Amino acid sequence: MTDLAVHTPDTDARELPVLLLVGSGYRPYREYILAAVSKHYRLWLLDSHEATWQLRYCVGATRVDTQDADAVREAALAVVASLPVGGVFTYDETQVVFCARLAQDLGLPGSPPETIANCRDKAATRAVLTAAGVPQPASFTVTSAAEALAAAEKIGYPVIVKARAMAASFGVVRADGPADIAAAFAAADGADFMNLPRYPANVLVEEFLTGPEISVDAVIHDGEVTPTVIAHKRLGLEPYFEETGHDVDARDPLFEDEELLGQLRDIHRALGFVHGATHSEFKLTPRGPRLVEINARLGGDLIPYLGLLATGVDPTVVAAHAAAGRRSDLTPLHHKAAAVRFLLPEGHCRTVEVVVHEERFGPTIHETGITAEPGDELDLPPAAFLTRYGHVVAVGDDMRQVWHDLQEPERLVELRADVLPE
Task: Tell me the per-residue pLDDT of 16-59, one tens digit each, with 9 for 90 and over.
Answer: 999 999 999 999 999 999 999 999 999 999 999 999 999 999 99
Which of 161, 180, 207 is where one domain is finished? 207
Residue 4 has pLDDT above 50, yes or no: no
List phi, psi (to 5°) of 178. Answer: -55, -35
**What range defines the domain where residue 308 resides?**
112-135+209-333
What is the arithmetic mean of pLDDT over 256-275? 97
* Sheet containing strand 413-419, strands side by side: 377-378, 349-356, 413-419
User: Which alpha helices (DSSP H) does 38-95 contain, by range?
Assistant: 69-80
Q: Are 147 and 77 within one domain?
A: no
In which band, very low, low, confident or very high, does the pLDDT at 168 lie, cut at 50, 70 and 90?
Answer: low
**Do 281 and 312 sit in the same domain of this protein?**
yes
Model confidence pLDDT, tens digit, residues 135-146: 999 999 999 999
What CA–CA distance (Å, rounded) separates 3 from 5? 7
Please indicate, yes or no, whether residues 130 and 233 belong to a single structural domain of this protein: yes
12: pLDDT confidence band, cut at 50, 70 and 90?
Answer: low
Contact in structure between 274 and 201 (CB atoms under 8 Å): no
> Looking at the structure, do residues 309 and 415 belong to the same domain, yes or no?
no
Q: Is residue 252 located within the same domain as residue 123?
A: yes
**Phi, psi values for residue 25, rounded to 5°:** 85, -175
> What residue type is assigned to position 235 of the chain?
L
Q: Which of 240, 233, 181, 230 is nearest to 385 (CA)?
A: 240
Q: Would you give the distance in Å from CA 240 to the centre of its chain?
A: 18
Q: Is the peptide bond before 382 cis (omega within 30 degrees of 0)?
A: yes
Rounded Cα distance between 118 and 271, Å, is 7
Domain CATH number, residue 25: 3.40.50.20
Report pLDDT for 169: 62
Cα separation, 394 vs 400, whole angstroms? 11
Domains held by the chain: number: 4
- Inter-CA distances, 181 with 147, 199, 239, 393, Å: 10, 19, 12, 37
What CATH number is associated with residue 360?
Answer: 3.90.1170.60
Q: What is the pLDDT of residues 293-351, one digit of tens each?
A: 999 999 999 999 999 999 999 999 999 999 999 999 999 999 999 999 999 999 999 99
Q: C-alpha distances in angstroms, 34 versus 4, 27, 57, 262, 334?
A: 17, 10, 6, 32, 23
With 0-12 / 13-18 / 19 or more C-beta atoms within 10 angstroms meaning exposed / middle / buried, residue 5 is: exposed
Q: Strands 203-207, 139-142: parallel, antiparallel or unpaired by DSSP?
A: antiparallel
pLDDT at 8 over 50: no
pLDDT on residue 161: 94
Domain termination residue (choose one: 207, 227, 250): 207
- Decide: residue 314, CB within 10 A, 0-12 exposed, 13-18 middle, 19+ buried: buried
